[in-house]
């Protein structure tokens, strides 16, 4: 779990500035990615004092096991203390194989019945992880889930780890809506680059599931390093938040 409080001040002066969040599975601009067109924009205004507070959690869907319930308890306490505006999930929302359908009890057993604190009854912006693609991806994207739990919001974006596409091993992945892969990725990268390029926000934050650089066991994600990192650098993105490695790291570039 990561807690973030953003005060919107111009990085070059004392003037207040705006913030743009780009979520991707890769993208949110307090916008969420729609890969069939330009990035869909969802407005989430900061507090009157000029700040925005949110929690980030990933790799969590365990029906309360593996300390999920304890983390949820602490999230509730911190969320109340920070008066958070929303929660971001970086994917792997339901282990081990995503949701089977919109009626899968795992949705309530791993989500609704776990994150019950009053402070967490805010909008959740969710992206998809590799484990989510092992199940029925369309179930997590289905608006029916919002009728079950109004705080849930999940949009499709894209997966960039080539191993999951070319070498599924013992698992089956649901790639509906993301094929043909090369064309799909090219369109998404183009939309993302455009959204970041033309954004006038002074703070740009990108959220995804997979690592770009990491000291963890999964290693760097080559496609993100080659195709996505240059876009982030060219558009002065301030930081990138991800999961996948099941550990806490803070990695900074020596180039900035």
Residue-wise pLDDT tens digits, 242-256: 877 777 788 887 775
Q: For residues 102 and 122, give the distance between their C-alpha atoms in angstroms, rounded to a whole number.
A: 21
What is the residue whose two structure tokens read 């693609």?
Answer: 133
Residue found by looking up tokens 């894209």 in the block: 158
Does any domain span residue 252?
no
Q: Is residue 41 part of a domain?
A: yes
Average predicted confidence (pLDDT) for the chain:
77
Q: What's the domain count of the chain?
A: 1
Residue 104: left if φ>0, alpha if ψ -120 to 50, beta else—which one? beta
CATH number of the domain at 89, please: 3.60.21.10
pLDDT of residue 40: 66
Q: What is the mean pLDDT of residues 102-130?
A: 95
Domain range holding 222?
A: 2-241
CB neighbours of 70 closer than 8 A, spacing ≥ 6?
A: none
pTM of the model: 0.67
Residues 6+ apart with CB under 8 A from 195: 20, 22, 27, 29, 31, 38, 39
Our answer to whether residue 44 is catalytic in this structure is no
pLDDT of residue 30: 36
Q: How far is the CA of 128 from the CAs of 95, 201, 253, in angstroms?
A: 12, 25, 26
| 247 within some domain | no
- As a whole number of angstroms, the distance between CA 106 and CA 100 comes to 9
215-231 mean pLDDT: 83
Q: Is residue 127 part of a domain?
A: yes
Model confidence over 29-60: pLDDT tens digits? 333 333 334 556 666 777 776 677 889 999 99
Domain annotation covers residue 150: yes
Inside any domain, residue 181: yes
Task: Choose the catalytic residue: 7, 218, 244, 246.
Answer: 218
Residue 175: inside a domain, yes or no?
Answer: yes
């Amino acid at each position: 779990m990561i807690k973030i409080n953003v005060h919107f001040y111009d990085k070059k002066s004392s003037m207040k500035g705006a913030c743009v969040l780009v979520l991707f599975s890769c993208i949110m601009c307090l916008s969420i990615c729609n890969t069939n067109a330009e990035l869909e924009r969802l407005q989430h205004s900061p507090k009157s004092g000029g700040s925005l507070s949110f929690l980030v959690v990933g790799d969590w869907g365990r029906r309360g096991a593996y300390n999920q319930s304890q983390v949820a308890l602490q999230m509730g306490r911190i969320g109340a203390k920070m008066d958070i505006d929303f929660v971001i999930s970086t994917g792997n929302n339901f282990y081990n194989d995503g949701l089977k359908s919109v009626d899968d009890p795992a949705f309530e057993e791993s989500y609704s019945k776990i994150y019950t604190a009053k402070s967490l009854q805010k909008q959740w912006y969710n992206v998809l992880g590799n484990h989510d693609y092992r199940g029925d991806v369309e179930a997590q994207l289905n608006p029916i889930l919002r009728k079950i739990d109004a705080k849930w919001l999940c949009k499709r974006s894209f997966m960039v780890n080539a191993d999951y596409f070319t070498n599924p091993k013992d698992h089956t992945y649901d790639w509906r809506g993301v094929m043909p892969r090369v064309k799909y990725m090219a369109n998404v990268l183009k939309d993302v680059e455009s959204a970041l390029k033309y954004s006038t926000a002074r703070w740009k934050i990108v959220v995804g599931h997979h690592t770009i650089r990491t000291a963890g066991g999964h290693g760097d994600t080559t496609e993100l390093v080659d195709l996505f990192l240059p876009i982030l650098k060219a558009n002065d993105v301030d930081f990138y938040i991800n999961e996948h490695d099941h550990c806490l790291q803070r990695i900074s570039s020596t180039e900035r």
